[in-house]
Structure 1
Amino acid sequence: MDLSQISERISRNLTAELDFDDDKKEIIAYGIESLVLTVLGFLAIMGMAFLFKALVPTVIAAVFGGFLRRVSGGAHFDTPLKCLAFGAVVYSILGVIAKEIVNYGFQSSGFLLAFLLFSLALVAILAPVDCEAKPIHSQNFRRKLKIISIGFVILTIGVVLVSHNFLVNTSAVLGIVFQTMTLLPVFNKKRGITT
């Protein structure tokens, strides 16, 4: 039994007494699966970041990219384990890149904001991107995920405008940009652009 089936079973058990409709059951199952994957993924990312000696920027990139991923979806491997391993490596590399950018003094809020505006446009057009293993059936849920995705990128723009910590800003932007790239149709075999 895979994680998706376990999440659906837990959701059915939790909602049996509450007489929820299918949309609410889907949202609860999605939340359970997201929570478990988030915890496992975060532990893997922290382990890799420690090895790369870039714990702080990696965690920041992972928090920003990971939250956007939970609501925007994106490219998937065929198993959650492959996804977790790939994410741990990529976010650790992003942490190292952010650290090196700051160490070498390449500090430009203009570039960071340009990357975020590009990400905002892609998120507004493409999010949420589901996959065959976890399709989003509810149009209402799809619309909510799009709004939260857009809102989170706008919030990140606000963080970059207000924060004077270039390591935090760079790490956050790299996390958002990486996650946004996973929305591109070239990385998603099935559907095209969703509204």
Structure 2
Amino acid sequence: MDLAQISQEIANKITEDLNYSEDNKEIVAYAIETGLLNILGMTLIIFLGLLLNAPGPTILAALFGGTLRRLSGGAHFDTPLKCLIFGAIGYSAVGLLAKNLALMGFTSFTFTTIVLFVSLLLVLGLAPVDSQAKPIHSRSLRKKLKISSVAFVVATFIAINVVNDSFFITSATLGLFFQSITLLPIFNRRRWIQL
């Protein structure tokens, strides 16, 4: 039984006495599936971060990258579970790299500025990237997502220049950079990644 079926079963149990329409039951099932995926994703990210002895940087990278992803879109796999696993492994690797760079003192203003500038250029040129499952048809929504993506990168730049913590600086910078790379066309052809 996959996650969608489990979510549907839970939704059926929750709504059986409420006389919900099929549409409303589907909305409840979707909310449950999204919630379960988020919990599973964060659990996996924390577990891998602990396994790599870099839980803080991993969580920070995932929070910054994940927030940008919600606004900018990016590469997609053919199932949410594959996306979740790839993201957890990717952000864990980014967290480990961020930890090691911070320990080596590699948090110069020049480095973070260059990396965030590249991220900003990618977001300006490519965001938002939609998927087959969630196409963006509205020009207004597309414009709002682009503006929000750019604003988030700029806000992150300001935050890393205010906070004086090397783990925070490297984690936030590399988390955003990792997510901005997923906007590249090589990861977003109209035949979404299938494994």
Q: Report the TM-score, using the length of structure 1 for normalisation.
A: 0.80
Note the aligned Cα RMSD (angstroms).
Answer: 3.1
Aligned residue identity for 1:98: A
In 1, distance between residues paired with 2:117 and 2:37?
Answer: 28
CA apart distance, 1:145: 1.1
The match for 1:155 is: 155
The match for 2:98 is: 98
The match for 2:74 is: 74
The match for 1:117 is: 117
Deviations 1:54-111 (A, max 9, x none): 1000000000000000110001111111111111111111111111112122231211
Pick one of 13, 17, 20 that aligns with 2:24: 13
In 2, distance between residues paired with 1:158 and 1:86?
Answer: 29
The match for 1:178 is: 178
The match for 1:144 is: 144
Q: 1:102 to 1:117 in 2, by over 3 A?
A: same
In 1, distance between residues paired with 2:33 and 2:142?
Answer: 17
Deviations 1:106-132 (A, max 9, x none): 231211111101111110111000011
Deviations 1:141-164 (A, max 9, x none): 211111111110011010111111
* Structure 2 residue 140 is matched with structure 1 residue 129: no
Q: 1:167 to 1:119 in 2, by over 3 A?
A: same
In 2, distance between residues paired with 1:146 and 1:69?
Answer: 11
**Unpaired runs of at least 5, structure 1:** 15-24
* Structure 2 residue 38 is matched with structure 1 residue 52: no
The match for 2:15 is: none
Aligned residue identity for 1:107: T
8 Å contact kept, 2:45–2:91: yes
In 1, distance between residues paired with 2:49 and 2:174?
Answer: 15
Deviations 1:34-55 (A, max 9, x none): 6654333222211111111110
Name the SS for the 1:150 alignment partner.
helix
Identity %: 49
Q: 1:70 to 1:36 in 2, by over 3 A?
A: farther
Q: Show structure 1 runs of 4+ deviating over 2 A.
A: 30-40
Aligned residue identity for 1:39: I
8 Å contact kept, 1:113–1:160: no
Aligned residue identity for 1:183: L
**Unpaired runs of at least 5, structure 2:** 9-20
In 1, distance between residues paired with 2:32 and 2:154?
Answer: 26
In 2, distance between residues paired with 1:32 and 1:175?
Answer: 27
